[in-house]
Amino acid sequence: MSLSMRDPVIPGTSMAYHPFLPHRAPDFAMSAVLGHQPPFFPALTLPPNGAAALSLPGALAKPIMDQLVGAAETGLPFSSLGPQAHLRPLKTMEPEEEVEDDPKVHLEAKELWDQFHKRGTEMVITKSGRRMFPPFKVRCSGLDKKAKYILLMDIIAADDCRYKFHNSRWMVAGKADPEMPKRMYIHPDSPATGEQWMSKVVTFHKLKLTNNISDKHGFTLAFPSDHATWQGNYSFGTQTILNSMHKYQPRFHIVRANDILKLPYSTFRTYLFPETEFIAVTAYQNDKITQLKIDNNPFAKGFRDTGNGRREKRKQLTLQSMRVFDDRHKKENGTSDESSSEQAAFNCFAQSSSPAVSTVGTSNLKDLCPSEGESDAEADSKEEHGPEACDAAKISTTTSEEPCRDKGSPAVKAHLFAAEPGGRPRDAGRLDKASPDSRHSPATISSSTRGLGAEERRSPGREGAATSKAEEARALPGKEAFAPLTVQTDAAAAHLGQGPLPGLGFAPGLAGQQFFNGHPLFLHPGQFAMGGAFSSMAAGMGPLLATVSGASTGVSGLDSTAMASAAAQGLSGASAATLPFHLQPHVLASQGLAMSPFGSLFPYPYTYMAAAAAASSAAASSSVHRHPFLNLNTMRPRLRYSPYSIPMPVPDSSSLLATALPSMAAAAGPLDGKAAALAASPASVAVDSGSELNSRASTLSSSSVSLSPKLCPEKEAATSELQNIQRLVSGLEAKPDRSRSGSP
C-alpha cells in the first residue's frame, strides 16, 4: 500500500506533523508524494529561520532542516509550497518497500524486572539524571536482516495519579501533576540493519531520568503556530523528564526505516512490558527496591553486605545497636510469647543479614525476608541468590503484598483496556490486580491506520486465568505465566470521521487523520523527544541523520552494559537463558501501510498486550493522554485486542503452541511451553466490543479482589509484625536500616 492511499487530512481538524519539524512538514511531504498541492494547507507558515527556531542540535538540524524545512528557510509559507519545493524527491519519501519481517521483542533481565515489579517499582530520578534500573534491555528477533530499523524508547505516564508511599505501599495521593514534556529517545545506534539489531541485546542504559524540567540535555522548541494541536513544546534529549511520585510506563518502538525522515511514514511497532512500569521517586521509599538495586547494580556494590565499604561499617553499627536493643528488651520484658515471637523474627532478620551467618554472598536474601515478611521471600531469594537459592527460598506463593496492592499484570492489562469513565485512577483499578509475577508479559502495541474493521478480541484464556487464582498462585512459585493481551489499534477504521476518540486518546483534531494515527511518535507531539542520540550524536545519530542510505552503524554499542543484573538474571533463570524470546507480536501499520493483519498477530502464543499506544496527543484529555491504552472500550471498539491470557499451565495446551509455533515450541523450554499454553488462540476469540472487555475486566477485577482477602490477612499480619520489629530497630538507630540489622 502506498502513501497515496491514505485519506487526506481533513482540513481544519488535524494536521499531520513531523516530530522533528514544524507540523506542516509531513503534510507537505505528503503532498510531494501525492504530487499535488495539499488543499488543506491553511495559511500557516514556518518562521524563515525555521531551523533556528527549532533549536535542534546541529547534526540533527542540518539534514532535517535542509531537507524538510529547507523551503521554509526561504521564508516561503508552506501553504505556497508545492511538490516542487526543496524537499527530497518523492521517491525518498516513500516508505521502503514492504519487507517481510515479524519483529518480536524480548525483555532482557526479566527476572530482575519481575523482582522490581514485585517490590514496588520505584525508579530514582535526580536533577542531574539517573539511569534506569533495572536497565531497559531488549532482544529483537524477526527483523529483516537487510532492512534498517530505528529503535526508540519513550516513557509515558501510566495514569493520572500522584502517589505516596504510605504504610509500606504505594497509594494514590491525588491527581497527577501537570505532565512534563515528553521525550522520545532514539537508540544511538539507529538506524541499523535488522541483522545488527538482532545480533545483540539492545540497551537503553544511556537514557536518564530526571525531574529537572529545565535540564539542558534536551532541546526544547516552541511552535509558532496558533493551532492548538501544535502548541506545546517538543523536546529532544538524553534525559526524560518525569514527575516524582508519578507512575510511568516505558515503551519500546521499532520502526523499519533507514532514514529518520521516514519515521512518519513507517510502521511503528510499540511494545510495552508491564513489569517495567515504575513510580518515579527522588529518594527511595521502599527498602526492598533499594536492596534490589544494591544487589544488582555494580555501582552500588559498595553498599552490599559483602562489601568492605560503608555499608559494612554501617551494618556493624547496626549490629551493635541490635545487641543493645536485644539485651535491653530481654531485661525489660522478659520472654513473653510476644517478645519471643518478635525476637524470633528479629533474630531471623538479624541472622540472615549477618554475613557471618548467611551463606557466602547470599546474605541479602534473608535480610529482606523478615523485613518485609511477605512473599517477597521468593523474590528476594531469587534476586539475591539467583536461581540456586531461589527454589528453596520460595516460601510463599502468595505475593501477599501484591494482591493487596495495586500491582499485577493481568489485572493491569485488563485495566489498561477497561474503561475508566469517571477518570478513575488507573491505580484504583489496579487494586485488584493479581500479582505480577504470574504474568509479566510484554505488551505489544501496534498502531495502525489501516482501514480494518475495528475489533476487539480477547482470548478465552485470559478469562480463565483471571478467574483462576489457584492456577495463578501455582504458577507463581515456578515460572511466570504470561497473560498476553493483544490490542491493535485501527485508527483509520475506528473512527474516521467520527470525531474524538477518547478511548484511544486521540485528540479530537487527530481523530479524522489516519495518517498519523496510531503512531506513537506523532500522536504525542508534546511527548516527542530525542534522546541519547543527540548526546552521542557522532556515533549514533550521525548515521541516523544522514538521511539516505547512510552507512549503517554497527550495533557494537548495544550491549555495552552488562549490569550485574545480568548475573542475577542468568542465575535465576534457567528460564531466561533457555527461553526463547518472549516475542511480541505487534501489528500495526501506521498510516495505511499494509502490514500484517491482525489475524497474523494472534498466532503468537506469547503474552502480549497490544494497545493503542498511539492514541494520545497533546490535545487529548489528560487521562487519555496519560493512558493511551486506557478507556479503549469507552467507545465503540477501536481496538482489536486479544488477551492471551492466562495462566493455564496445562501441559496439554502446550501442544497448541507447538502446533502454532513449532519452531518456537521446540526451542522453548518448559516455561515457554507454559506461556504458550497460556496464550489461547487469539484468532479464535474475537471480542467485539468494549462491553465484553468490560465484563472481562470486571471479572478479572472481582476475581482478583476475591483473592485478596485470602492472601492479605496472612501476609499483613506478618508484615505488621515485621514492621513493628522494624520500628523498634529504627528506634535504636538514627535511621532504619531493616535489611542490615544483624545479631551475633
Give the binding site for DNA (CB under 7 A): 124, 126-127, 130-131, 133, 164-165, 173, 208, 211-212, 244-245, 281-285, 290, 293-294, 297-303, 307-311, 314, 561-562, 734-735, 737
Report the residue number, 566 or 595, with the smaller CB distance to DNA: 566
Report the residue number, 166 or 330, with the smaller CB distance to DNA: 166
Question: Strand pairing of 485-489 and 443-446?
Answer: parallel
Q: Which amino acid is at 739?
A: S
Counting every residue, how long is the chain?
Answer: 744
Report the residue number, 527 or 741, with the smaller CB distance to DNA: 741
Report the residue number, 508 or 736, with the smaller CB distance to DNA: 736
Contact between 430 and 598 (Cβ < 8 Å): no
Report the residue number, 354 or 621, with the smaller CB distance to DNA: 354
CB of 479 to DNA, least distance (A): 27
Residue 662 buriedness (CB in 10 A; 0-12 / 13-18 / 19+): exposed
Pairwise CA distance, residues 348 & 346, whole Å: 5
Contact between 24 and 76 (Cβ < 8 Å): no
Report the residue number, 136 or 506, with the smaller CB distance to DNA: 136
Report the residue number, 551 or 734, with the smaller CB distance to DNA: 734
- Number of helices (H), then strands (E), belonging to the chain: the values are 31, 19
CB of 342 to DNA, least distance (A): 23
CB of 307 to DNA, least distance (A): 5
Report the residue number, 146 or 313, with the smaller CB distance to DNA: 313
DSSP one-letter string for 52-95: HHHT--HHHHHHHHHHHSHHHHTT--GGG--TTSSSPPHHHHSP
Report the residue number, 538 or 594, with the smaller CB distance to DNA: 538
Q: What are phi and psi of 363, to 5 degrees?
A: -55, -35
Contact between 136 and 109 (Cβ < 8 Å): no
CB of 117 to DNA, least distance (A): 16
Q: How many CB atoms lie within 10 A of CB 97?
A: 6
CB of 407 to DNA, least distance (A): 18
CB of 681 to DNA, least distance (A): 41
Pairwise CA distance, residues 538 & 559, whole Å: 18
CB burial of 352-370 (b: ≥16 within 10 Å; e: otherwise) equals bbbbeebeeebbbbbbbbb
CB of 124 to DNA, least distance (A): 5
CB of 741 to DNA, least distance (A): 12
Report the residue number, 84 or 308, with the smaller CB distance to DNA: 308
Torsion of CA 330, 333, 336, 341, to 10 degrees: -60
Pairwise CA distance, residues 416 & 426, whole Å: 8
- What are the C-alpha distances in Å from 332 to residues 93, 263, 328, 539, 744? 81, 71, 6, 67, 20
CB of 20 to DNA, least distance (A): 25
Contact between 475 and 545 (Cβ < 8 Å): no
**All 3 cell numbers of residue 417?**
483496556
Report the residue number, 139 or 740, with the smaller CB distance to DNA: 740
Torsion of CA 52, 523, 555, 563, to 10 degrees: 110
Report the residue number, 288 or 638, with the smaller CB distance to DNA: 288
Report the residue number, 185 or 265, with the smaller CB distance to DNA: 185
> Whose grid coordinates read 541468590?
385
Pairwise CA distance, residues 34 & 32, whole Å: 5
CB of 126 to DNA, least distance (A): 7
Report the residue number, 125 or 613, with the smaller CB distance to DNA: 125
Pairwise CA distance, residues 159 & 346, whole Å: 38
CB of 614 to DNA, least distance (A): 29
CB of 306 to DNA, least distance (A): 10
Q: 3-state DSSP call for residue 648?
A: coil
Report the residue number, 45 or 297, with the smaller CB distance to DNA: 297
Please tell me whether the peptide bond between 647 and the residue prior to it is cis, using omega within 30 degrees of 0. Answer: no
Contact between 406 and 170 (Cβ < 8 Å): yes
CB of 161 to DNA, least distance (A): 12
CB of 409 to DNA, least distance (A): 24
Contact between 719 and 400 (Cβ < 8 Å): yes
CB of 297 to DNA, least distance (A): 5
Contact between 615 and 653 (Cβ < 8 Å): no
Selection from 263, 372, 315, 332 nearest residue 21 by Cα: 263
CB of 736 to DNA, least distance (A): 8
Selection from 239, 203, 246 nearest residue 220 by Cα: 239
**Paired residues of 254 in beta bridges:** 151, 269
Torsion of CA 567, 387, 467, 488, to 10 degrees: 30
Selection from 79, 90, 94, 62 nearest residue 24 by Cα: 79
Report the residue number, 131 or 627, with the smaller CB distance to DNA: 131
